[in-house]
Structure 1
Amino acid sequence: MALSMEKISENKVKLRIEVDAQTFENGLEIAYRKTRNNYRAPGFRKGRVPRKVIESHYGDSVFFEDAFKELMPDAYQAAVKELEIEPVEQPSISIENIGRHEALVFTAEVHVMPEVTLGQYKGIEVEKVVYNVTDAEVQAEVDKALEKAARYVEADRAVQEGDRVVLDYKGTFDGVEFEGGSAENTTLDIGSKMFIAGFEEQIVGMKKDEQKDIEVTFPEDYPSKEHAGRNAVFHVTVHEVKEKELPAFDDEFVKDVSEEFDTVEEYLADIRKRLAEQGEREAKAKMEDAAVRKVVENATADIPDCMVEDQLDAMLQDMRMNLMRSGIRLEDFFEYTKSSEEDYRKRYRDEAKTRVKTRLVFQALREKEGIAAAEEDVEEKIAKMAESRKLDAKEYREMMKPGDLEYLRDTIAIDKTIDLIMDSAVYVDPGPEPESEAEEGTETAAE
């Protein structure tokens, strides 16, 4: 097999592949044997028509296409291996010469993995991120716990924001009931925004056993086209009015909600500790993101459009799967948001290109620095994952799907690459906040 390669552009090459005449003849014979059941001729049983008879009847080129399909993939892969190139897409194939007793010649144009020129990746300046737990954040966690432990008690008064009501409602369009517009003894938290705009607001002020007609308009982008933009009347009957009662935040509350702590002081200290740990993780992630972003910006690489399109395909597929978990089709999502796949591709094209470049830069760093996941790293990671699921490491490994191990190795190598960048990073103080921001923060705190 004769080969030549021409560079068309920065990351695109044109291969010229020549398959000798004898190999092509063998391909013709294979094509004949695979397709001979498709041909009939007088005096011959099905599948027994000689090749020469078929060729004389249909022409010498009758098996050319099938022979080419038989030979091309292996010839192309052999060329890729011999030339040591790494294609990033399916090739565009053109036949230059094909004929009986002649060499088969075809060309393959294909984008190849782009070369990455690394810039500075050691000693990167990173603005230091420091997280300080505020009293307001601690109080917010306390409030969440109190809300979770809240109970609702009957209130002998009109409905207020934050109340829980039990009611019946019957919806109509122009006096005619519509499907899904009625319910009995349903519970509604006022202020939850679970109903369309204007419904809950008009419940406020009603009393137990009171009836009322509520007029609302369905939004134009409502999922059901039969409802969208239409005016509706809901006849509402309130059966119960309950107000939220929060428990007292004291030692007894702490003992009720926690098995570890007995006092408010211990409980608050634990909240502050957990918030600090979470803040440190977030600060670390922010600094890593900033450093990686600089390393990627410092590198140069000419990214082929096909790699960006493939990345967008992957992002769309992830989006499709995430929506499916919520019972939403991607097509329906685009319809609801009055957008399209084309809009998505335009909006996230730069993000996709950055992801591709980041992946290529990390690969180049790993090759230059000899970074790889050692077997002990893999075993340690598996042991931790198994422990978190209360499984034996061997049992967990047996449960892993094909490809999981390679993904795990890749993840470990990425973490090591980030560690390499961060270990040499130069941390700089962000400096004092601008006076206007500081004043604004003071005012907010005072309020």
Structure 2
Amino acid sequence: MSTSTEPETNPVSDEKKTIQLQSKVESPSACVREVVVTIPHQEVERYLKDAYDEIVPEASVSGFRAGRAPRKLVEKQFRDRVREQVKGTLLMDSLAQVSENEEFSAIGEPDFDFESIELPEDDGDFKYQFTIEVRPDFETPTWKGLELTKQVEEISDDDVQESLQRVLSRYATLEATDEPAELGDKLVVDIKFTDNGKLLSKLEEERVTFCNRLSLSDGVIEDFGTLMKDATEDDVRTGKVKLSDSVADEALRGTEVDAEIRVVEVLKSELPKLTPSFLEELGDFESEEELRDFVRDSLVRQADYRTQQKMRETVVEKLAGNADFELPETLVTRQTQRELQRKVLELRRSGFDEDNIRRFVNAARQNAKASTESSLREHFILEKIAEEENVDAEAADYDAEIALISQQSDMTERKTRARLEKSGQMDAVRNQIVERKVIEMIVEAATITEEKVEKTDGDEHEEFAVYHNVLSTREEGSIPEAKYEDNTPKGAEKENEKE
């Protein structure tokens, strides 16, 4: 496909005329466009003339007063500087024009080698090419009238009691003990990670909850519970860490490395009593019943999130048949951290605590490529439906989303908004609002069959997660951190953890 653009017939002062150019666009894949731009020589001359017209009246040339030197002399003295300036200006102006006129929606910056591009010396045309990532072009899937199964969770009094115990455990009194460690105890550990005797990284005095598995940012100690059974202070245990298939070092992907774990302390905990003073300190709760209502509300939000996620997965799976497109690896790599941050925001607004969020983050990092590819496909499908149905985020939607993220934490909505804006995450907020609206629209137009979720027992001590890369050379992107647990009552500081 090629297009041409003619210059405007009525020049407007202080505004550049449309550039006369031709662009040839090829589509090597659904999300990539390769563009060749050709700009006639007369357009180059026009830009050069404009540039010299601007500097001649003020040019300082030896032997002449400022602005009095002959134009030919000015052009000769400033030639290299002006040509480099014109190259940059002409590139930027033509890129903007091509992006506006072509039938693709860019989602990345143009990729080209600025240094290798040169202005023609004589009468030749100015020609350059670039590659750009775009939204994939695919036929909108039929989304009305789907048959869906909605999983429904019921929150029981037992669920509330278990969750309340977990909340209180963060404010428990911890005392060192000589007794053997049991599941649920706190362990302070030093861990050295090695490969064939070579030190990879280490954790020092890390406080972890004694669980069956210990999850790390790029690996997992699967048998942590068995390994540390009956451990006491100063015990040293050795085991294996299974590295993920997405670690930076290809030679170590999916392999096992050694972990030497030394127990610094075993800590037993005593839960605080729900006295009026503690309830007030916890979050200005007037009664235990009010605290339980707060905990129940968090559990309902978490259940709603799981239901929505399952519905989302089902919907996208049914719609993805007509949206089979290849995603560039560069796009997936670049979007991995952004998708992770977006998911963290979504988990926080849904009432999940930091222990659960760390588990999710580590699991996502260990399966980064597949997880990001799935999220991007979902986004493109849902965004296309949103555009066609004029679904967008309104000011009130942002307010509600920010209120939920701020809720139950010691942070005002204004401060939360400022942090999101400063970190460039408002686009992520917008995406999750729009995608949620589209899913709700699809569900409303579907035939729904409800299915009660059967809960499983025995996962209370299943896994504890720590933010740490076994392969310390791998850069770890920032995750939005919370000073307080999101399902921890307002005013109660979370346990001091090294994250």
With over 3 angstroms needed to count, the CA separation of the structure-2 counterparts of 1:346 and 1:118, relative to structure 1, is farther
How many Å apart are 1:420 and its aligned residue? Answer: 0.7
Contact in 2 for aligned 1:116/1:360 (Cα 8 Å)? no
Partner of 1:113: 135
Measured after TM superposition, the shift of residue 365 of structure 1 is 0.7
Letter in 1 for 2:321: N
Supply the AA of the counterpart residue of 2:26: I
Check whether the contact 2:149–2:311 (CA below 8 A) recurs between aligned residues.
no
Matched ranges for 1:335-346 at <5 A: none
SS at match of 2:151: coil
What letter is aligned with 1:289?
A: R
- Counterpart Cα distance in 1 of 2:379 and 2:69: 55
Q: Paired residue for 2:439, among 414, 418, 440?
A: 418
Give the AA of the match of 1:286.
Q
3-state SS of 2:24 partner: strand
Whether the aligned pair in 2 keeps the contact of 1:217 and 1:229 (CA below 8 Å) is no
- The counterpart of 1:302, out of the listed 311, 321, 325, is 325
Asked if the contact 2:150/2:311 (under 8 Å) is kept, the reply is no
Deviation for aligned residue 1:385:
7.7
Q: 1:123 is matched with which residue?
A: 145
Q: 1:364 to 1:242 in 2, by over 3 A?
A: closer
Report how far residue 4 of structure 1 moved: 2.9
2:26 equivalent in structure 1: 8
Which residue is 2:370 aligned to?
350
CA distance in 2, matches of 1:380, 1:27: 53
> CA offset at residue 80 of structure 1?
2.8
Aligned equivalent of 1:285, options 308, 323, 334: 308
Aligned to 1:361: 381
TM-score when normalising by structure 1: 0.55
CA, structure 1 residues 119+345, in 2 after alignment: closer, same or farther (shift >3 Å)? same
Which of the residues 362, 372, 382 maps onto 2:392?
A: 372
The answer (yes or no) to whether the contact 1:133–1:275 under 8 Å persists in 2 is: no
Q: Quick one: which amino acid aligns to residue 449 of structure 2? A: V
Matches within 5 A, 1:45-444: 52-53=72-73, 64-88=83-107, 89-92=109-112, 98-100=120-122, 102=123, 104-111=125-132, 112-133=134-155, 137=159, 140-141=162-163, 143-144=165-166, 159=179, 161=181, 201-203=231-233, 216=236, 273-274=296-297, 277-278=300-301, 280-300=303-323, 302-303=325-326, 305=328, 308-316=329-337, 348-374=368-394, 377=397, 401=421, 410-428=431-449
* RMSD over aligned Cα atoms: 6.2
Map Cα deviations across residues 307-365 of structure 1 (whole Å, 9 max, x no partner): x524422424787999xxxxxxxxxxxxxxxxxxxxx9995333333332222222211
The CA distance in 1 between the partners of 2:325 and 2:175, in whole Å, is: 66
SS at match of 2:316: helix
Q: Is the 8 A contact 1:87 1:110 kept in 2?
A: no
TM-score (norm 2): 0.50
TM-aligned CA deviation for residue 297 of structure 1: 1.6
Alpha-carbon distance in 2 for matches of 1:190, 1:371: 44
Tell me what 2:476 maps to. Answer: none
Q: Could you say which structure has the higher helix fraction? A: 1
Summarize the Cα distance change of 1:319–1:96 in structure 2 as closer, same or farther, 3 Å threshold: same
- 2-structure distance, mates of 1:216, 1:279: 38
Which letter maps to 2:307? K
Larger Rg: 1
Distance 1:12 1:272 in 2: 50
| Counterpart contact for 1:5–1:14, Cα < 8 Å | yes
Deviation track 1:169-208 (CA, whole Å, cap 9, x = no partner) reads xxxxxxxxxxxxxxxxx9x9997999xx8798355xxxxx
- Aligned residue pairs: how many? 360
Indicate how the Cα distance of structure 1 residues 216 and 31 shifts in structure 2: closer, same or farther if over 3 A, else same: farther
1:34-49 equivalences under 5 Å are: none
Residue type at the aligned position of 1:86: S
Post-superposition offset of 1:404: 7.3
- 1:103–1:113 distance in 2 versus 1, CA, 3 Å: farther
Deviation readout 1:133-183 (Å, 9 max, x if unpaired): 46764553465478678768999xx74546999xxxxxxxxxxxxxxxxxx
| Preserved contact between residue 126 and residue 427 of structure 1 (Cα < 8 Å) | yes
SS at match of 1:114: coil
Structure 1 residues 63 and 12 mapped into 2: Cα distance closer, same or farther (>3 Å)? same
Structure 2 contact 142–319 (Cα < 8 Å) conserved: no
1 CA distance for matches of 2:106 and 2:303? 42
- For residues 397 and 40 of structure 1, what CA distance do their matches in structure 2 show? 53
Per the alignment, in what secondary structure is the counterpart of residue 106 of structure 1?
A: strand
Higher RCO structure, 1 or 2 (CA under 8 Å, sep 6+): 2
Amino acid at match of 1:297: A
Structure 1's 409 and 432: CA in aligned 2 closer, same or farther, altered over 3 A? Answer: closer
Q: Which amino acid aligns with 1:427?
A: I
Corresponding residue number in structure 2 for 1:208: none
Specify the alignment match of 1:24 in structure 2: 45
Amino acid at match of 2:446: A
Counterpart Cα distance in 2 of 1:35 and 1:52: 10
Cα drift, residue 430 of structure 1 = 5.6
